[in-house]
Amino acid sequence: MGRDPDIDAIKARQSLGLPLTGRLTEQQVKRAHKLLAVQHHPDKGGDPEMMTRFNNARDVLLEPEMEAIPG
């Protein structure tokens, strides 16, 4: 399953509850993703679509070419 091509950095940050501007560390992204994954994982009764959204958001934000959003 590939990542959603329609998700951008702003939507990804919103999905993970991260600040909309500034530089993020890999650790910040992974921590936010993990907290949401624990709550919403389909194996724990969560919604598979939500989990896919969180995974896509993480993937977008961890792409090597992702730069800080000015602000």
Q: What is the pLDDT of residues 15-68, one digit of tens each?
A: 999 999 999 999 999 999 999 999 999 999 999 999 999 999 999 999 875 555
CB atoms under 10 Å from CB of 42, counted, come to 12
Per-residue pLDDT, 7: 82
CB 68 within 8 A of CB 23: yes
Predicted pLDDT of residue 63: 86
What residue spans define the domains of the chain? 10-61
pTM beyond 0.85? no
pLDDT at 1: 47
Which CATH entry fits the domain spanning 10-61: 3.90.180.10, 3.40.30.10, 3.40.50.1580, 1.10.287.110? 1.10.287.110
Rounded CA gap, 58 and 1, in Å? 14
Query: What is the pLDDT at residue 67?
Result: 54
